[in-house]
Structure 1
Amino acid sequence: MSGDDLFDEYATVRWEDAAPNVVRLWLDRPDRMNAYNSQMCADLRAAIDRFDRDDTVRVLVLTGAGRGFCAGGDIGGDDPRLAAELAGQLGRAQNLKHDLHAVVRDLLALDKPVIAAVNGAAVAGGLTLALTADLRVAGESAKLGDTSSRVGLLPDEGGAWLFPRVMGHGAAYRMVALGEVYGAARARELGLVDEVVPDGELAQVALDLASAFAARSPLALRVAKRLLRDGATSTLEQSFSDAALAVMFVNTSEDAQEGLRAFREKRAPDFTGH
């Protein structure tokens, strides 16, 4: 990673052009195990918006600098806003809507693919961030779980919605109620991660996966993601209808024609997103 690849306009995250059409976004408060504060939430929202708007970037890899992915909210740091929120419950509930709630909402709204490379701890709000990704690859020493109940708090960053959808109600409630944190192998069994790899291979495995996604038609991947997301809460007939409408413009796209030509010519397609 060269200095020319990094952009410095963010205070707590780093943007890296990691491979063609792939950006790696680093949570960058390693001295706080990448615990989020108000500034990080603002930086994440700006970077997510940049990713969403830039058609030259097709895939996002989200990871953490240093020894951890994200240790949740920085309740032990020096952020005066967070301290004020913790002192007043109504204030915390309102401000979260503008902070991590907004980040989670922005990530879940993305049609482009997102991959989380989970290194070290991803707990509480950090686990929520990881679960917004379409795929999660973890290093073998990663730790994932929710520790909110250990200090009398709640999974209020979006975990109450995401955890049962990923793990099922029983496993999610046990994790939340007991404040459990799992090793990478157990986290995979519970569905919290999709793949576990040696720590030293995590960055490359996640980047290779992102590059494989980036080589596919951006249009097809975005529409497929939307169909899968909407299909989780729609009827079969509605899913059929949505797919039929999507086919009308995806199957007639330049990418689809290129894909068919490449298949006939026995070569790799060159997709442009058109």
Structure 2
Amino acid sequence: MAQLETLLVSSPHDHIRVVSLNRPKQMNAYSTRMCEELCAEIDAYLKDDALRVLVLTGEGRAFCAGGDVSNADDDRDHLMAQQLSHGREMRDGMHRVIQALHHLDKPVIAAINGAAVAGGLALALACDMRIADESAKLGDTSGRFALLPDEGGAWLFPRAMGLDRALKMTLLAETYPAREAQALGLVTDVVPDGTSLEAALDLATRLAAQSPLAVRLAKAMMVQGLDVTLEQSQREAALSVMIANESDDVKEGVRAFFNKQRPHFTGH
């Protein structure tokens, strides 16, 4: 892939990849280029079996401020003249990012270092867990621009916080401090300022030590279970058990337990 323009990528620990949104002057508002690069990085994470956890964070004082609305007047004239082009831009841009994250069967942690609003909140909610700095703000500011929660928020927000709270947040364009956002269901953990990435990496290290096969299957079972009946979920679970119970990782887990040792899982 060509040199990244909007992301920073690193692997600070074995099995862990960190992707940082890198448009700090724009509060990491996403652009077409950022969406393209994010999709490529998510795909690379999915296909690399050596990678077990992805951490997504932002450079500077924001996680992601949603879509880039700079030069809004020019953009509005363009979009009003070519409404179908706007639809294609969403479909091929942030929609692809949110769907790619949602369908991943490997874990993704959001380290929310600052504002995560509008499409930025949707991006965070598409991750599996969210660790936020105490001073971070989360919410949906799209209504301040007469815009819509079109990146996936209309689907993600009610599932995270309930329909009534999601409607209140979006229709009134509200944002919340991190601890209030945690109480509303938008954040998993809140940590002191400046430590969200460190805390996310600690969590990622613990996840990376688990059986990658069991983690992937368990995540897939739970995500799919949100949209199927109990009976359908149990049928899928029975099929997954047929795979997991014959794995080397299960044998390793049993061996380590009886020998009072820490297991070493390989994913086989």
Classify 1:151/1:218 alpha carbon distance in 2 versus 1 (closer, same or farther; 3 Å).
same
Matched residue, 1:111 = 105
- Structure 1 CA distance for aligned equivalents of residues 181 and 69 of structure 2: 25
What's the Cα RMSD here?
1.7
Q: Distance in 2 between matches of 1:64 and 1:31?
A: 11
Q: Residue 75 of structure 1 contacts residue 82 of structure 1 at CA under 8 Å; is this kept in 2?
A: no
CA contact (8 A) 1:85 1:95 kept: no
Amino acid at match of 1:135: M
Q: Distance in 1 between matches of 2:78 and 2:258?
A: 63
Which amino acid in structure 1 is aligned with residue 109 of structure 2?
Answer: I
Normalized against structure 1, the TM-score is what? 0.94
C-alpha contact 1:218 1:271 (8 A) present in aligned 2: yes
Shift of 1:240: 1.3
Whether contact under 8 Å (2:52, 2:107) holds in the other structure is: yes
Aligned: 1:95 with 2:79? no
TM-score (norm 2): 0.96
Q: Secondary structure in 2 aligned to 1:69?
A: strand
Q: Give the aligned partner of residue 254 of structure 2.
A: 260
Residue 185 of structure 2 corresponds to 191
Relative distance call for 1:86 and 1:266 in structure 2 (3 A) is: farther
Which consecutive residues of structure 1, in runs of 5 or more, have no partner in the other structure?
A: 1-6
Mapped to 2, the partners of 1:82 and 1:262 lie a distance apart of 61
The offset of 1:234, in angstroms, is 1.2
Q: Distance in 1 between matches of 2:71 and 2:64?
A: 14
Name the SS of the counterpart of 1:179 in structure 2. Answer: coil
CA shift at 1:65, angstroms? Answer: 0.5
Which one of the candidate residues 204, 208, 211 is aligned to 1:214?
Answer: 208
Counterpart for residue 53 of structure 1: 47
Q: Give the number of aligned pairs.
A: 267
Give the superposition deviation at 1:159.
0.3
Query: How is 1:23-172 mapped onto 2 (pairs within 5 angstroms)?
Result: 23-76=17-70, 84-85=78-79, 88-172=82-166
Confirm or deny: 8 A CA contact 2:113 2:194 kept in the other structure.
Answer: no
State the AA in 2 paired with 1:233.
D
Q: Which runs of 5+ in 2 are unaligned?
A: none
SS in 2 for 1:155: coil
Aligned amino acid, residue 246 of structure 1? S
Verify the 8 A CA contact 1:215 1:271 in the aligned structure 2: yes
Query: Displacement, 1:262?
Result: 0.7
- Shift, 1:77, TM fit: 5.2
- Aligned pair in 2 of structure 1 residues 10, 234: CA closer, same or farther (>3 Å)? same
Q: Secondary structure at the match of 1:182?
A: strand
